[in-house]
Chains A and B, each alone.
Chain A
């Protein structure tokens, strides 16, 4: 018998010989996207830079939208905002503060559709100042208003009864103007209560509102004059994040316009539809791509939305031909809003940024810089950002108190749920080595001094011993030159500026991804450059064991991790007269530990955040020759290199690289395997409590199961 016969047998598996058509003979290539469509989709994916941007762009593409993101550590996803990337002070106003004598009040943005329009049109994002001719006709407003323009007669009816009328005109810069407005109020059965959200038209109409046409839609916008607080001129400078041209981040103001710093970093995502978008105007300034078109074709791909950990705000917008930016009210993106299937905490950009964007600012471009100039309330000049949340979680789990009734949250500020801090992304461990594989089983946090000048190569932990493989590109590996971390692999060249403290890498700049660094190279890296960028910017924990480097990080995919607590019972006899609370030693693991049922852990032992992913099954863990073994019921125990390191408060941290693809493992056991892979990739804190070992870590609740409440 030959390999050909095995091939024939496998080929038989493609025969469609069952009534449900499970074979593949009948599935012809091209049933989905054509090769040309695949190419287009792939190129869009390539140009969108970050998958997260693509997701946001896709969501934003449903309308002409200016998305705004409070950067707060783009890939970190943690709760606290970092200092501005440009290193500027947060609160110091510019030296040339100038007050807008005319502008007062709250911003408004109202869309009016012709009464003959079958439905509200989607804004194209590109608009122009309206003329009086444009306004001729009858228009429905967003809150039941009715606007009638006949020749010079302008009549606005509110709530069926209140009428504002005048003989008006439209200025060349698109402002509706009249000498005097006549207001009247009628009584009658048709009168209704005005919508509380309706703009204060009686105040607005006298302040020469901007009237603009976006396709067939009339936009009336401006400041309503309902407050007396002076507004001051400010400007925000933004530079493109990448070549796609629809992601912009704030840059130091060097334009001569009021150099106000706006409190904290901000990123804008611009999107639109069709050819006549505002974005096209942006791209014409010097960018090659047409971001509006590219974003519009992303389809429903929003799976990566929320990668930075917050839900961006979207603002319906339109850029006029004279450079005036019309911006609506902010709202969370639908795909990650509180009532969505994948809710995320809303981004909280500086109120000053929102006020600026909504002030009908002008947009100008200088080289690659976009400058948005407008006004904000004077009081916002002293707007201060919220304090950095020092309690935001790092790679380490919360310290488990010796008191088993302690909830373990340590009083951390709630950021997403009421009871747990925000920890996003699937736990992932990367093992690297710069020499021979000679683990001691204990890790020490990496320092910058110890890292400088070294180069670690990724190793495959599934081989025995773990192997770094070949280096076909000559400089493969992770290195640090004193300021910048760089990962090189086949087709990958990612650099991240950052600093280490207690082993935690904090980025100080955006990751730089070199496009196509190894043209023509035959080798392929198992990871994407974006994965590396995410892992290195996700506040990874780096620790070394001799020549071995272990990186505990998370791969952002929108999963919010939850704390997982377990109790493990020694398989052997507990040492007599042992301390009540003491660290876990390798010997404890080598003797074997067995999972205590969740009910018992929660009720009898008092484990907080207790989980029992598989009631009735007890996982056992052991240790041998520097490797952990975890038996979850698969055909063979999971095993991988592991490190048990002492920690504070008589605790130990267990980290391990378990296989991502469990062998001979299916069903609930496979889920359990994934749970343990995550727990040990993140790092599990262990300590003895009386006769048990308490484990605390973080994992995806989808595999950890619900919390067992005492």
Chain B
């Protein structure tokens, strides 16, 4: 008799890293992200028969998004990256802007922390997890229009917060 948990274990082992990175970007803190993802995966296990053959990624992301909002409601907004501003490297030189070199990870995390929960989630789901607008709308339970407007607002805000990377922060939807 096959182990009913084997597909779940295989899924977790295959997808945990990617989901953890998404969670980290959404929460701004890897430890919180670990907890968030872990809780979501436990909930996934509880409903594996129903979700496993469908889209477990979407389910986990939805749980993480809602649980993150709930966590924030319980604990208050925390911006753990804001306390280490000194360590941010200045953007330098007159060379062409290359975000991958010129902007630090800390800069990015600080900027993401300035976004709303939904803006951050839309940004991560759209550009990091490469989900379609419809998939994001289903995950966040909003309309496609909201996804579009939130993505636009998020990128606009990031351009303000990371002017050095403004040239890179133009989404395909915003391209004329």
Residues of A within 8 A of B (CB): 1-3, 5-24, 26-27, 29-33, 35-36, 38-43, 45-46, 460, 462-463, 467, 491, 516, 518-524, 526, 660-667, 670, 674
Docked CA distance A460–B137 (Å): 11
Contact A521 B46 (CB under 8 A): no
B176 at the interface (CB under 8 A from A): no
Name B151's closest neighbour in chain A (CB-CB): A6
Task: Report whether A516 and B50 are in contact in the complex, using a CB–CB cutoff of 8 Å.
Answer: yes
> Are A45 and B9 neighbours in the complex by a CB distance under 8 Å?
no
**B133 on interface, CB distance cutoff 8 Å:** no
Cβ–Cβ < 8 Å partners of B54 in chain A: 520-524
Report yes or no: B20 in contact with A29, Cβ–Cβ below 8 A.
yes
Decide: B80 and A22 in contact? CB cutoff 8 A: yes
B160 contacts chain A at the CB level, 8 A cutoff: no
- Is the beta-carbon distance between A10 and B124 smaller than 8 angstroms? yes
**Max count, chain A CB within 10 A of own CB: residue among B88, B130, B138, B167:** B138
Q: Of B12, B38, B88, B127, which is within 8 A of A7 by CB?
A: B127
Report Cα–Cα, A2/B49, bound state, in Å: 38
Query: Main SS of chain A's interface residues?
Result: loop
Contact A9–B45 (Cβ < 8 Å): no
Return A138 CB to nearest CB of chain B, in Å: 47
Cβ 8 A contact of B51, one of A2, A45, A524, A664? A524
Closest 7 CB pairs of A and B: A42-B45, A15-B105, A13-B108, A24-B24, A35-B12, A463-B143, A46-B46
Check A14–B25 contact: CB distance below 8 A. Answer: yes
* Given A22-B29, A460-B142, A526 contacting B66 (CB threshold 8 A): yes
Besides A12-B108, A27-B34, A32-B34, 6 new A-B residue pairs in contact (Cβ under 8 A), listed by A number: A3-B130, A9-B103, A33-B42, A38-B45, A42-B42, A491-B50
B residues less than 8 Å from A665 (CB atoms)? 116
Q: What separation, in Å, do the CA atoms of A42 and B118 have in the docked complex?
A: 27
Pick the residue among B105, B128, B138 that contacts A16 (CB under 8 A): B105
How distant is A380 from chain B, measured CB to nearest CB, in Å? 42
Instruction: Given A8-B99, A22-B84, verify A491-B130 contact (CB < 8 Å).
Output: no
Known: A1-B170, A11-B128. A35 touches B142 (CB 8 A): no
Closest CB in chain B relative to A569 CB, distance in Å: 29
CB closest residue in chain B, given A4: B127
Expressed in whole angstroms, the Cα–Cα distance for A101 and B50 within the complex equals: 57
CB atoms of A38 and B38 under 8 A apart: yes
Q: Tell me which of A1, A13, A660, A667 contacts B167 (CB under 8 A).
A: A1
User: Which residues in A have their C-beta under 8 angstroms from that of B66?
Assistant: 526
Interface centre among B9, B30, B80, B103 (most CB of A within 10 A): B30
Q: Would you give 18 A-B contacts (Cβ < 8 Å), ordered by A?
A: A1-B168, A1-B170, A9-B169, A15-B105, A16-B105, A17-B104, A22-B29, A31-B34, A39-B45, A40-B5, A43-B5, A460-B141, A462-B141, A462-B143, A520-B54, A524-B59, A663-B116, A674-B73
Partner of B43, one of A42, A663, A667, A674: A42
Give the most central of B47, B66, B118, B171: most A CB within 10 Å: B47
Contact partners of B44 in chain A: CB under 8 A: 42
**Residues of A contacting B25 with CB < 8 Å?**
10, 13-14
Contacts of B73 in A (CB 8 A): 674
Interface string of B85-126 (1 = CB under 8 A from A): 001100000000001100111101100100011100001101
Question: Quick check: A462 and B146 within 8 Å, CB to CB?
Answer: yes
Interface presence of B172 (CB below 8 A): yes
Contact for B104 among A15, A35, A524, CB less than 8 A: A15
Q: Which residues of B contact A462 (CB under 8 A)?
A: 141-143, 146
B112 touches A13 (CB 8 A): yes
- A27, A30, A41, A522: the one contacting B55 at CB < 8 Å is A522
The answer to whether B152 has its CB under 8 Å from any CB of chain A is: no
The reply to whether B46 and A43 contact each other, CB–CB distance below 8 Å, is: yes
Residues of B within 8 A of A (CB-CB), count: 79
Residues on B with C-beta less than 8 A from A42 are 8, 41-48
A51 CB → nearest B CB, Å? 10
Q: In the complex the two chains form, what is the Cα distance from A3 to B5 in whole Å?
A: 36
- Pick the contact of A20: B5, B83, B127, B169 (CB < 8 A): B83
Q: A7-B127, A15-B104, A35-B13 are in contact. Are A46 and B47 (CB under 8 A)?
A: yes
* A40 cross-chain contacts in B, Cβ below 8 A: 5, 45
* Cα distance A11–B21 in the bound complex, in angstroms: 8
State the B residues within 8 Å of A (CB).
Answer: 5, 8-9, 12-13, 16-17, 20-21, 24-25, 28-31, 33-35, 38, 41-51, 53-55, 58-59, 62, 66, 69, 73, 77, 80-81, 83-84, 87-88, 99-100, 103-106, 108-109, 112, 116-118, 123-124, 126-128, 130, 138, 141-143, 145-146, 155, 162, 165, 167-172
Contact among A7, A12, A35, A43 with B105 in the assembled complex (CB-CB below 8 Å): A12
Knowing A3-B171, A12-B104, A12-B105, say if A24 contacts B49 (CB, 8 Å): no
Establish whether residues B106 and A17, one from each chain, have CB atoms under 8 Å apart when the complex forms: yes
Residue from B5, B35, B116, B146 in contact with A39 in the complex, judged by beta carbons closer than 8 Å: B5
Residues of A close to B146: CB separation below 8 A: 462-463
Tell me the minimal C-beta distance from A4 to chain B in angstroms.
9
A46 vs B168: C-alpha distance in the bound complex, in angstroms?
A: 45
Bound Cα distance from A44 to B5, whole angstroms: 13
Partner of B168, one of A6, A14, A467: A6
Distance, CA A469 to CA B42, complexed state (A): 28
- What is the distance, in angstroms, from A392's C-beta to the closest C-beta of chain B? 27
- CB < 8 Å neighbour of A27 from B30, B123, B124: B30
B20 touches A467 (CB 8 A): no
B42's partner among A9, A41, A522 (CB-CB below 8 A) is A41
Q: Are B55 and A39 in contact (CB under 8 A)?
A: no
Shortest A29–chain B CB gap in Å is 4
Contacts of A31 in B (CB 8 A): 34
Shortest beta-carbon distance from B28 to chain A in Å: 7
Residue of A at shortest CB range from B140?
Answer: A661
Contacts of A13 in B (CB 8 A): 24-25, 105, 108-109, 112
Chain B positions within 8 Å of A18 at CB level: 81, 84, 87-88, 104-106
A-side contacts of B170, CB under 8 Å: 1
Chain A residues with CB under 8 Å of B143's CB are 460, 462-463, 467
A3-B172 contact in complex given A11-B128, A665-B116, C-beta closer than 8 Å? yes
Q: Which residue of B81, B99, B130 is within 8 Å of A9 (Cβ)? A: B99
Question: How far apart are the CA atoms of A534 and B25 in the complex, in Å?
Answer: 33
Give, as a whole number of angstroms, the nearest-CB distance from B88 to chain A. Answer: 8
Chain B residue numbers with a CB within 8 Å of A27 are 20, 24, 30-31, 33-34
- Please name the residue on chain A nearest to B74 by beta carbon: A702
Q: Are A664 and B116 interface neighbours, CB within 8 A?
A: yes
- Known A29-B17, A30-B16, A35-B9; contact A22-B108, beta-carbon cutoff 8 A: no
Contacts of A460 in B (CB 8 A): 141-143
B169 touches A45 (CB 8 A): no
Chain B hits for A19, CB < 8 A: 84, 87
Considering the chains assembled together, what is the distance between the CA atoms of A13 and B100 in angstroms?
10
Cα-based distance from A43 to B3 in the complex (angstroms): 13
- Which A residue sits closest to B118, measured CB to CB? A661
Q: Which residue of chain A lies nearest to B38 when distances are taken between CB atoms in the complex?
A: A32
A32 surroundings in chain B (CB, below 8 A): 34-35, 38
Q: A7-B130, A518-B50, A665-B116 are in contact. Are A526 and B45 (CB under 8 A)?
A: no
How far apart are A10's CB and chain B's nearest CB, in angstroms?
5
Q: Contacts A10-B128, A24-B21, A526-B66; is A45 near B116 (CB within 8 Å)?
A: no
Whether A9 and B165, one on each chain, are in contact in the complex, defined by CB atoms closer than 8 angstroms, is yes
